[in-house]
Amino acid sequence: MQTASAFVLTAFIAWTLFLLILMEGLRVRFLFGNTVAANEFRPDNSNLPPFMQRLARAHANCIESFPVVGGLLIVALLTDRAGLTDSLAYWLLAARLIQSSVHVVSTNIAASYLRFMAFTVQMAIAVYWCCALFA
């Protein structure tokens, strides 16, 4: 990849896809284990164990933030202004990976604070990028 922004955009998409494949792979185990019928899966996995519910939310968080984060990276790349996003791109990706990973593995208070901090980092970077791209 030529820029950090292009790499992070692709990695963000790959991470979202990884979470989806993991979730669907585990759903197949429930299906073939005769734990859940094919027509009983709920989008939020609310009829499955808590881990699966957290995995669904982690995936949904990626989908929900992609229009903002992905959109800003795409604008920067299409307007040849990736220099504005490159310096913080890896930090944004790290915060996204932390948020998703913590979301999946734990729900305790400390994990919730860490997850919120990671989300806050992503939103602060997005606000900075948005302002920089408008300037």
92: CATH: 1.20.120.550
Number of domains in the chain: 1
Convert the pLDDT of each residue in 25-39 to its tens digit.
Answer: 999 998 898 888 888
Tell me how far CA of residue 132 lies from CA of 2, 82, 91, in angstroms.
Answer: 21, 11, 17
This prediction has a pTM of 0.93
Q: Please check whether residue 53 is in contact with residue 44, taking contact to mean a CB–CB distance below 8 angstroms.
A: yes
Q: Note the helical H segments in the chain.
A: 4-32, 50-78, 83-105, 109-134
Residue type, 107: T
User: What's the mean pLDDT in 44-65?
Assistant: 93
Closest of 27, 11, 100 to residue 62, by C-alpha: 100
Domain, as residue range, for 36: 4-134
Q: Which two tokens stand for residue 103?
A: 């979301």
Banded pLDDT at 51 (limits 50, 70, 90): very high
